[in-house]
Amino acid sequence: MKRMAVVAAAASFSVAALVSFGAHAADELKVGFLSTLSGPAGGIGIEIRDGFNLALKLNGGKLGGMKADVIYADDTLNPQTGRQLAERMLKRDRVDLMTGIVFSNVMLAVWPTLEQAKTFYIAPNATPTAITGKGCSPYFFSASWPNEAHHEAAGEFASSKGYKNAFLIAPNYPAGKDALTGFKRTYKGTVAAEVYSKLNQLDYSAEIAQMRASHANAVYAFLPGGMGINFIKQFVAAGLSKDMQLIVPGFVSDQDVVRAVGEPMLGLFDTSQWAYDLDNDANRKFVSAFEKEYQRIPTLYAEQGYTAALIIDQAVRDAKGKVHDAKAFRAALMKAPERAKTPRGQWKEAANGTPIQDYYVRALVKDREGRIVNRKIGTILKDHKDYWAKDCSMQ
Amino acid sequence: MSGLLFLEQSLNGLQFGLMLFLLAAGLTLVFGIMDMINLAHGSLYMIGAYLMATLAQATGSFWIALPLALAATALVGAILELTLLRRLYGRDHLAQVLATFAVILIANEVVRIVWGPQPLLLNAPPSLTGPVTLPGGLQYASYRLLIIGVGILVALLLYFLIAKTRVGMLVRAGASNREMALAMGVDIRRLFTAVFALGAALCALAGAMLGPILAVQVGMGENILILAFVVIVIGGIGSIRGALVGALLVGIVDTSGRAFLPLFFGVFLPPQFASAAGPALASVLIYLLMAVVLFFRPQGLFPARG
Amino acid sequence: MKRVLACFVVLAAFPLVMQAMDNLFYVSLASRMLIYAIAATSLNLALGYGGMVSFGHAAFFGAGAYTVAILATEGISNLWLAWPAAVVVAAVAALMIGAVSLRTRGVYFIMITLAFAQMVYYIFVSLKEYGGEDGLPLPGRSSGLPLSLADDVTWYYLVLALFAATLYGLYRLSRSRFGRVIEAIRENEVRAEAIGFPVYRYKLACFVLSGAAAGLAGALIANQASYVSPSLLHWIQSGTLMIMVILGGVGTLWGGALGAIALLALEHLISDYQIDWLERLAPNYQDHAGLAVGVVLLAIVLAAPQGLAGMLSGKRRA
C-alpha cells in the first residue's frame, strides 16, 4: 500500500519531466533574467527588473520585433544558487540570452557556465574586471559600466575638492576590491585606511569607531543596497557626518536608500553614469514613464535595466533575430549603443565589452516639490574608458 | 590605539552582548526547565522584529509599538508552546532539533508570505537618531546607549524576578530538578507556558531594539541563534547568570575580534586579507571558547543543576 | 532482494530514457540526488546506526568537496589522487572532531559537533585565495578515467556505481560484528561497556567511517557543479542532511537515500513546475517550497518517526 505512494511519486516526477519540454516557438525570444530579488540587496534587482520591464512594456512586450518571453529567477545573492539557476535556464529552459545579475560574486560564479553554453550575456549591472580584462569574451556585453568607473570618478572628484585624507570602506568581494582599486587610481590625497567589511554586514559600529579614530576628512564608502542604508544611518547617528564628508558611488545613495534613510542623507555627493535630470528626450521619456508606472523616482539601477532592454531590442533587430550567430549578434551589439536612444545620451562600447561614457557628480538635495533627489552638479569624467581594456586581446 | 577607540569598541561589545543576553536568557530557561532544544527561538526573534516594524509603521511611534510588539510575540510564543512544543517534551533531542528546525522553515516562509521578501524598515525613535557626547569627549550613537540601558534594566529585572519572587523560585526549582518540582506539586504546565512566553517577549525585545541597527529580514534569526546557543552552553544551561556572563563574553570577544584583529593583521597582511582574517578568526574564537569551556566544565560556567 | 534489483534497473535505465527524450537536464538533477543520497547515508551510519546525533556532518561533506576543489585549482584533477585525498581529509577531520566530541554526551555532543563544524566553516570562508565566501569554481570535472566525466550520462553512471557501493558497504557493515556492536552501544551504552566493549573506540571508528563516506560525497558534489561554496559547510547543510535521514528512516539501510531523493524531488517539484490551480489559490506558492518541506518534516517527526522507509516496509526500528 505504501509502496504505491512511492511508485506514484516516481511516476508523477517522470510525467512532470515529460511535460516540461522547453518548447520553443520560432519567433519568440527567451531571455533569462537572473537577479537578486530578495533580501537586503533585493531592492537593487527589483529596480533593474522594473526598468527592464518598463522598456519591454513601452515596446509592446517585444524585443527586436520578436515576442519576448522573460524568465525571472532570484539568486538571493548566493553564488551557488545563481549558478544552479543559470544552469536550469540554459539547459532546461533553453534561453537565448541572459541578463539581470546584480552582484559581481554571483556574476563570476555564473560566468563559466554562460561562456560554455555560448549564450550572450548583457550586463545591466555587475561588470567585473576579471571578465573585461584578460578574461574578456565576445559573449559578454555590459550595458552599465565597468566596475571601477564610478570609483575612479569619485577619486577624481575627491581630489578636485581638496579632501586630503580619505577613509575607504567596501565589502570584501570582487566588486568591493575593484571599487577601492579604482578610487585609489585617481585619488591624489592620502588614504587614511582601507577597510573591507563583510558582504551584507549590517552593523558598522566597529568600522565607524575606526573612522572616528582616523581623523580623516572624507569617507569614501562603496556599500550598495541594504548595507548602504544601515551604514549611512549609523554614520549620521554616530555624529561623524559633521566632521567628515561622505562621498559615495551612485549605488549607495540613490532613491532606494533615500526612501529608507531620508533627510540625514542631504549634503552627500555621489558619482553616476546617469542622472534623472539629464537633458535629452530619451531620458525625459524614461523618467516620466517610470514615475507614471511605478509611482516613484527611478534610480540609476532602473536606468541600467531599461537601457539593457533597449540595447537588446536594437541588437536583435539589427541582427535580424540571429542571437545564436556569434559574429553577427556581437557586431550588432557593439553598434547598438550608438543606434538606440538610451536615457544616457550618446555613448559607445569598447572592444572589451564595456561602455565608454561620461560620469557625473550628483548631490543630494531637495527639489522644488520637496522630494530628496540626486541632482547633477557636474561632469567629472568624459568619454571614460575601462582601465582594464588594455589587457583584453579582442580588438 | 587611542583610549577613545577602545572605549567606543568596548561600548559596542557591551551593546551586542546585552542583546545576546536577551535571547540567551529565554533560551536557557526553556532548555533548563523543559529540557528542550528550541531552534525556533530565532524565529521568535524574527517575528518580534517584524511585528515591531509593522506596529511602528501603523502607530507612527516607536514607544507605543514596543510594548505591543512584546505582548503580541509573547502571545505567539504561548500559542506555539501550547499547540506544538508540548508534544516534544520528553522526546529525544534529535526529534526536538528536527521539529524546531521545521518550525524555522515554516516561520521563514510564513513571514515571507505575509510581509514579502524585502526587508522591512524600522527606524530608531526620531529623538535618538543622533549622537550623545559622553564624558571624555566620545560621541556615541544615542540609540546604542539606549540599547545598553535597556539591556542592563532587563538583566536587573530578570534577576529580581528569578531570585526574589515566588515565580522565580518555581523557575529555579524546575531548572535544577524538574522531577522533584513536579513531585512537590508545582503546576508545571502553566509554568512552562509562562516561561516560554517570557522567553518570546525577550526575543521580541531584542529583535525590536536591534531592528533599527540591523535589518528586519527573513532568516535574521538563524545567525544570532547559533551565537545564543554558544552563549548558553558557555554559561550553563538553565542559569540566567550564566547567560549574562556568557553573553557579555561572547559579545565582547566577537566585537573586539572584529574591531581589533584586522588592525593587528593589517600590520603584516594586505588589507583584503587582514579584513577577512580578522572576522574569521573572531568567529572561530567564539567556538573555540565554547569547546574549551565544555572540555573543562562540561556543564558550563554556572550550571543550574546542582 | 528482488526489489533492490528492480530499483537499480530503473536507476540504470533512467538516463537512456532521458537521452531519448533529449532532456539531459534531468540526468544532471538525478546525479545530484544520488550524491546527496550518499551523504545522507553516511550520516545515517553515525546517527541512525550509531545513535550519535552529529549536527556537524556538513564539515566532512564540505571538507571533501573543498579538498577536490583546492587540488583542482592547484592543477591536480586526477580523481585517483583527488578523491582519496578528499576521503582522507574528511576522515582526519572526523577523527579530530570525534575524538573531542565523543567525550561529551547528549545535548553537549550536539552542540560541540555544531561548534566544530562552524569552526571548519569559518576557516574555509577565510581562505580568500580559494574563493572565500564566493565559492570556488573548478576548471572542470576530474580526469583519470578513459571516459570523459564532462558528459552528464557518464557522470551519472559513475555516481550510481559509487552509490551502489556505499549502500552495499553499509549493508555489509551493519551485518558484521562491528555493526552489531555499534547497535548494541546505541541501545544501551552502559551495558555494552559492562560487557567489555571499548565503547569510545567503537563510536569513534563509526564516526570516522561516517565522515569518510561524507568526504566521498563531497568530492562528488564538487564535480557535479564544478563549483564549491562555503554553504556546503554551513550548519543549515548539516540540518538538511539530518532532515533527509529522518525523512527516509533513521537507522535503515535505504533511509538516507530515500530521504535525500524525496526531499530534493519535493523541492524541485514545487519550485520548478507550476500547478495552475494551486497558483490561483496561492499566488507565488513556488517561492515558498520551504513551507512544504517544513510541514512534511514536522509531520514526520510528530506522526511517523520511522520515516519513509518505515512506512514502506512496515518495519519498526528494533
Q: How much is the average pLDDT of A342-353?
A: 92
Q: How much is the average pLDDT of A298-323?
A: 94
List chain A residues with CB under 8 Å of B263.
210
Q: Are B147 and B125 within 8 A, CB to CB?
A: no
- Residue B275 in this model has a pLDDT that exceeds 80: no
Res. A1 pLDDT band, cuts 50 70 90: very low
Q: Which of residues 98-137 of B touch C (CB under 8 A)?
A: 98-99, 101-106, 108-110, 112-113, 117
Nearest of C146, C156, C15, C138 to residue A116 by alpha carbon: C138
- Residue B301 in this model has a pLDDT that exceeds 80: yes
Which letter, b or e, does each residue of C254-293 get, where b requires 16 or more Cβ atoms within 10 Å of its Cβ? bbbbbbbbbbbbbebbbbeeeeeeeeeeeeebbbbbbbbb
- List all chains that touch chain A, counting a touch as 3 or more CB pairs closer than 8 Å: B, C
Chain B residue with the nearest C-alpha to that of A194: B271
Q: Output the pLDDT for position C315.
A: 44
Most confident of the following: A139-148, B22-31, C274-283:
A139-148
Sheet holding A140-142, edge to edge: A62-63, A66-74, A28-35, A97-99, A120-123, A140-142
Q: Output the pLDDT for position C103.
A: 83
- Counts for chain C of helices (H) and strands (E), in that order: 14, 2
Q: How much is the average pLDDT of C231-241?
A: 90
Nearest by CB to residue A209, choosing from B8, B142, B213, is: B8
pLDDT tens by residue, B64-117: 999 999 999 999 999 999 998 888 887 888 888 888 989 998 999 999 889 988
Q: Are A162 and A199 within 8 A, CB to CB?
A: no
pLDDT tens by residue, A214-233: 989 999 999 988 899 999 99
CB atoms within 10 A of CB B153: 11
Q: How much is the average pLDDT of C189-198?
A: 90
Chain A residue with the nearest C-alpha to that of C140: A112
Q: Output the pLDDT for position C260.
A: 94
Q: Output the pLDDT for position C149.
A: 83
When mean pLDDT is compared across A346-355, B73-82, C276-285, the lowest value belongs to C276-285
Interface contact A237-B129, CB threshold 8 A:
yes
Q: Output the pLDDT for position A280.
A: 92
List chain A residues with CB under 8 Å of C308.
6
Interface contact B271-A210, CB threshold 8 A:
no
- Residue A5 in this model has a pLDDT that exceeds 50: no
List chain C residues with CB under 8 Å of A178.
none
Residue A306 host element (H or E): helix A300-318
pLDDT tens by residue, A236-287: 989 898 889 999 999 899 988 898 888 888 989 999 999 999 999 999 999 9
Q: Output the pLDDT for position B64.
A: 93
pTM of the full structure: 0.85
Q: Output the pLDDT for position A256.
A: 86
Cell of A285: 521619456
pLDDT tens by residue, A169-216: 999 888 888 899 999 999 999 999 999 888 888 899 989 998 998 989
pLDDT tens by residue, C147-159: 888 888 889 999 9
Q: Output the pLDDT for position C316.
A: 42
Q: What is the mean pLDDT of chain A?
A: 89
Chain A residue with the nearest C-alpha to that of B254: A206
Res. C130 pLDDT band, cuts 50 70 90: confident
- The Cα–Cα gap between A370 and A172 comes to 36
List chain B residues with CB under 8 Å of A234.
141, 213
| Distance (Å) of CA B140 to CA B9, B14, B127, B253 | 10, 13, 14, 20
Q: Output the pLDDT for position A67.
A: 93
Q: How much is the average pLDDT of B278-299?
A: 79
**Interface with chain C: mutation pick from B94, B224, B229, highest number of C CBs within 10 Å:** B94
Q: How much is the average pLDDT of A141-161?
A: 93
pLDDT tens by residue, C70-99: 999 998 888 899 999 999 999 999 999 998
Place of cell 561614457: A357
pLDDT tens by residue, C38-58: 999 999 999 999 989 999 999
Cell of C264: 530534493
Q: Output the pLDDT for position B306.
A: 46
Q: Are C96 and C112 within 8 A, CB to CB?
A: no
Most confident of the following: A254-258, B201-205, B290-294, C188-192:
B201-205
List chain C residues with CB under 8 Å of A197.
none
Nearest of A120, A128, A362, A102 to residue A250 by alpha carbon: A362
Res. B305 pLDDT band, cuts 50 70 90: low
Q: Output the pLDDT for position A22.
A: 47
C115 in contact with B, Cβ within 8 Å: yes
pLDDT tens by residue, B210-239: 999 888 988 888 888 888 988 988 998 888
